[in-house]
Amino acid sequence: MLAFLISAIRLGMTFLFGSTGETITEKSGHLNLGIPGVMCVGASCGCYAEYLYLSQMREMRITASPFLAILIPIVATLAGGALMGLIFSFLTVSLRANQNVTGLALTTFGIGVSDYMISETGPIYSKGSRYFTEPLPFADELGIVGEILFSHGVLIYLSIIIALLTSFVLNHTRIGLNLRSVGEDPAAADAAGINVSLYRYSATCIGSAIAGLSGLSFIMDYLNGNWEYCIDAIGWLCIALVIFTVWKPNLAIIGSILFGALYIVSSYITGISFAAKELFEMLPYVVTIIVLVFTSARDSKNSQPPKSLGLPYFREER
Amino acid sequence: MNNNVAIELKNISKSFGGNMANKNVNLTVNRGEILSILGENGSGKTTLMNMISGIYFPDEGQIFINGEEVAIRSPKDAFKYGIGMIHQHFKLIDVFSATENIILGLNEKGRYNLKAAAMRVKEISDKYGFDIDPMKKIHEMSVSEKQTVEIIKVLYRGADILILDEPTAVLTPQETQKLFAIIRRMKEDGKSIIIITHKLHEVLSLSDKVAVLRKGEYVGTVETAKTNESELTEMMVGKKISLNIERSEPENCEHRLVVNGLNCVNREGKKILNDISFVARSGEILGIAGIAGSGQRELLEAIAGLQHINDGEILYNNPKTHSCDNLRDKTPLQIRDLGVRLSFVPEDRLGMGLVGNMDIVDNMMLRSYHKGKSLFLERKQPKDLALHIIEDLEVVTPNENTPVRRLSGGNIQKILVGREIASAPTVLMAAYPVRGLDIGASYTIYNLLNSQKKKGVAVIFVGEDLDVLIELCDRILVIGSGSITGVVDARNTTKEEIGLLMTKTVSNEGKESE
């Protein structure tokens, strides 16, 4: 049971990056369906950077610094994710491409790129995983509470901090107000003197950078450094999580743990067939559909998607 | 140069593609002055104002503010020069509160503090006599409250030049009077106000000067005190037109449509129509007056079969077979085939009945494609109909294959109403057919309705302008909060009487008008 809970938290916090990133993006009115691809690219960039750093250290016969071994992949992942966000924004804002088509194309593109990059690296990057899974120093002293709350790697805490920070920025700052207005009604935002393109570009790039960390966390933390070709499946879950938590990053902290639990629950129930296992893995999506049904039926104005989600905005269009 | 001039435009021109939207426009507004801009639809009033507020950039010409030449490249620049625009379609964010909308996009110094901003909003609204709750969400507000938020928004930004784009189009007479009082107070405060409107009596009662545009060209500016309605109309249209709507006595009246005890409940379980009973007679125009959103739309949709009816009946006396049908049991298609036609012009003008991206011929076909006999679409007849409507109603369009979305509002409405009339209806329901239309186009539509009346059609006309309702209709049904609050004879009634009836139940049941 304890192992289940810890596992659920570990996996859930992986989702949290993705859903926070996608929430920021969607608040600007961009429906980035390229998130799975963004996560693949983010993860492979991180792994590639880790590979470069560790092999460099090995060649020079220096012990790798744990701090750098964590920081370098994170920075590389952020850069890779942001680049994907930049491509998305360039295509949809500047070239006026359809958001859904662009997003799906980015997913396919991202999966391909990441497969290529991983096939280029040696397995050495997976040694970096132990830096990511290192628990907080005082975890052992606190018994079960310590094990549940503090036995995780650094990325888990980063994800919570980012989610809380995002929630604060969205609801309690001028930037957040402006961003939300761009996603609700870009024409109104524009008339109020807000640079719609700038907000859409920045939100998408920042959101994608954060979503990239989701891939890195999945590989380096949850899978202990083993590359698996199912990051994109996690990506779709992140998008479902955004809907599930009605575009609220602070709610997503709880929601992501629930999703993590639902996703892995089949492995902890003994004596079920392979087919039943697959059914269990569908649970998060079923829950999301139920939430969608409820929020649309209730017609509550406060739990609706940003009104202009997925819609382009061109000022002089009549 | 007169240093009391707040804003001056010199030889401003702007074109969209090959269309000249504005050509050599010259305007001057002094401080503490109200200027009206008058012009038909598509004469370029809104385009001109959009150039002042930074939405569009002029192709040619100069703009001077306080005597200095400026380039207004974005709405932000416009704020910088103290220009604030109140758009015809409100640019407000539904899920935000009034205060959030007001401070949106501002870069004030200091911490983000909603409470302090709300205090300032209150201050401004007290100064000019607005009535507003700063923390109320926009989606809970009535149209006039939303407009108030828009006005406070520009005042909060310290605007000295205010542009109001058709501010009274959505207001009741009482709300209009209140707005005018506020505008006059702002004028006394030294603000310059530019107001765009179609309604001549408003121009005459409110403004100091009137600038007239015609088809993008600047006709001239006159002092309001030295002009009158017919002179202004002539400047606007370029020819003399009669301002009286002819109204013939209704002939051969039969009970065409009898509505008995109609009740409807919307999806949220709120009652939208409450025990509605009335009779629509052939050869007569029945007007429906009421505050926007009082149930007019639902009533017409119920008759057209588009709204679920909870209780009551709608009886239709068929003039051909002399049988009596209950429309409640019929599908929208069957109702249409009986000759009951609805043309509804929603606030965005395109939401119902026409498909913006399709051309005029295709839009004609929407009503007739199912009558085709062969496997393929027949475009010949719809094309003839389209050409017929374009010619008869003087639709301004490059050709019949232009997407409807590209036409100006008035022309879109002519096509919508024209198509319904072309089907030789027995009941014609026209909701807001002149919404946002200029005088020339409005009169075309009134004449269309009148000619239908003479043909023995039962016309139901839902309108906003009470003056027009009183002049055009035979009887007027007043509706308030989903109930009928009165039926008056249009020949012996006053605007005030109808205005009172409109708000009757609203004041009894609290503010549930929206």
Q: In this structure, what are the phi and psi dihedrals at residue A202, rounded to the nearest 5 degrees?
A: -65, -45
- The predicted pLDDT at position A17 comes to 95
B458-462 sheet: strands from edge to edge: B340-344, B427-431, B458-462, B284-289, B475-480, B483-489
Inspect the interface and report whether the beta carbons of B105 and A194 lie closer than 8 Å: yes
Report helix, strand or coil for B454.
helix
Choose the weakest-confidence range: A105-109, A260-264, B322-326: B322-326
Sign, Cα dihedral of A221, A227, A229, A231: positive
Give the least confident one: A155-169, A258-272, B493-507.
B493-507
Quick check: A190 and B96 CB within 8 A? no
Place of tokens 């629509």: B280
At B120, list the tokens.
């300032």
Interface of B with A in 120-149 (CB under 8 A): 137, 139
> Do the chains contact at A193 and B85, CB–CB below 8 Å?
no
Determine the residue type at A251: L
| Other residues' Cβ atoms within 10 Å of the Cβ of residue B371 | 9
Judged against a pLDDT cut of 90, whether residue A183 lies above it is answered with yes
Residues of chain A with C-beta less than 8 angstroms from the C-beta of B53: 191
pLDDT attached to residue B1: 47
DSSP structure string for B231-245: HHHHHHHSS----PP
pLDDT at position B319 is 77
Candidates B48, B41, B46; CA nearest to B397 is B41
- Range with top average pLDDT, A72-76, A271-275, B143-147: A72-76
Tokens found for residue B303: 């008759």
Among B95, B149, B268, the strongest candidate for a mutation testing the A interface, having the largest count of A CBs within 10 A, is B95
For tokens 């008056």, name the residue: B488
A82, pLDDT greater than 90: yes
Exposed e or buried b per residue across A144-172, where buried means at least 16 C-beta atoms within 10 angstroms of its C-beta: eeebeebbbbbbbebbbebbeebbebbee
Which burial class, exposed, middle or buried, applies to B63 when counting CB atoms under 10 A from its CB (0-12, 13-18, 19+)?
buried
B 149-168 near A (Cβ less than 8 A): 153
Q: Which residues pair with B23 in a beta bridge?
A: B217
pLDDT exceeds cutoff 90 at A295: no
Q: CA B259 to CA B316: how far, in whole Å?
A: 9
Calpha distance B151→B165 (Å, rounded)? 11
Residue in chain B closest to A193 (alpha carbons) equals B76
Q: Are B259 and B328 in contact (CB under 8 A)?
A: no
Nearest residue on chain B to A304, alpha-carbon basis = B95
pTM greater than 0.90: no
Closest of B394, B386, B383 to residue B419, by C-alpha: B386
DSSP B17: T
Can you give the length of chain B in residues? 514
**Crossing angle of the two packed helices A174-184 and A2-27, in degrees rounded to 10:** 70
Record: contact B112-A177, CB cut-off 8 A: yes
Residue by residue, pLDDT tens for chain B (514 residues) are 456 888 898 888 888 776 778 888 888 899 999 999 988 766 788 888 888 888 888 888 899 988 888 888 887 888 888 898 888 778 888 889 999 999 888 877 767 788 888 998 999 888 888 888 899 998 888 888 888 999 998 888 888 999 998 888 777 777 888 899 999 999 998 899 999 887 778 888 889 999 988 878 888 888 888 888 878 888 887 766 666 677 778 777 888 888 888 888 877 677 888 888 888 888 889 999 887 777 888 888 888 887 888 888 888 887 777 778 787 777 777 777 777 777 666 555 555 677 778 888 888 887 776 666 677 777 787 888 888 888 877 777 778 788 887 777 677 777 877 887 777 788 888 888 777 666 777 787 888 888 888 888 888 888 877 888 888 889 999 988 788 888 888 888 888 788 788 776 544 444 443 3
Nearest to A15 by CA among A35, A41, A45: A35
Of B76, B95, B406, the CB nearest to A193: B76
- Taking each helix axis from N to C end, the angle separating A2-27 and A196-217, rounded to the nearest 10 degrees, works out to 160
**Nearest CA of chain A to the CA of B32: how many Å?**
25
Query: Quick one: tokens of B413?
Result: 């409405």
Question: A209 with A81: CB under 8 angstroms?
Answer: yes
Which residue of chain B has the CA closest to A173? B112
* B270 near A CB under 8 A: no
CB pairs under 8 A between A and B: 76
3-class SS at B404?
helix
* Residue range A219-255, pLDDT digits in tens: 988 888 888 777 888 898 899 899 888 899 988 999 9
Measure in Å the smallest separation between the Cα of B91 and chain A Cα atoms. 4
- From chain B, the residues in CB contact with A178 under 8 A are 104-105
Q: Which CATH class is domain A2-317?
A: mainly alpha
ipTM of this model?
0.81
CB of A318 within 8 Å of a chain B CB? The answer is yes
**How is residue A57 written in tokens?**
């250290």
Q: A64 or A249: whose pLDDT is higher?
A: A249
> pLDDT digits over A199-222, tens only?
999 999 999 999 999 999 999 888
- The pLDDT assigned to B393 comes to 75
The nearest CA of chain B is from the CA of A240 a distance in Å of 23
Cβ distance of B91 and A191 shorter than 8 Å: yes
More confident residue, A302 or A192: A192
Res. A105 pLDDT band, cuts 50 70 90? very high
DSSP B143-177: HHHHHHHHHHHHHHTT-SEEEEESTTTT--HHHHH
Min Cα separation A98/chain B (Å): 17
Residue B262: what pLDDT?
86
Q: Judge whether A34 and A107 are in contact, CB under 8 Å.
A: yes
User: Given an 8 Å threshold on Cβ–Cβ distance, is A188 in contact with B74?
Assistant: no
SS (H, E, C) chain A: CHHHHHHHHHHHHHHHHHHHHHHHHHHCCCCCCCHHHHHHHHHHHHHHHHHHHHHHHHHCCCCCCHHHHHHHHHHHHHHHHHHHHHHHHHHHHHCCCCHHHHHHHHHHHHHHHHHHHHHHCCHHHHHHHHHHHCCCCCCHHHHHHHHHHHCCCHHHHHHHHHHHHHHHHHHHCHHHHHHHHHHHCHHHHHHCCCCHHHHHHHHHHHHHHHHHHHHHHHHHHHCCCCCCCCHHHHHHHHHHHHHHCCCCHHHHHHHHHHHHHHHHHHHHCCCCCHHHHHHHHCHHHHHHHHHHHHHHHHCCHHHCCCCCCCCCCCCCCC
Contact A187 B100 (CB under 8 A): no
Nearest to A173 among B87, B112, B153 (CB): B112
| Torsional sign, CA A278, A280, A285, A290 | positive
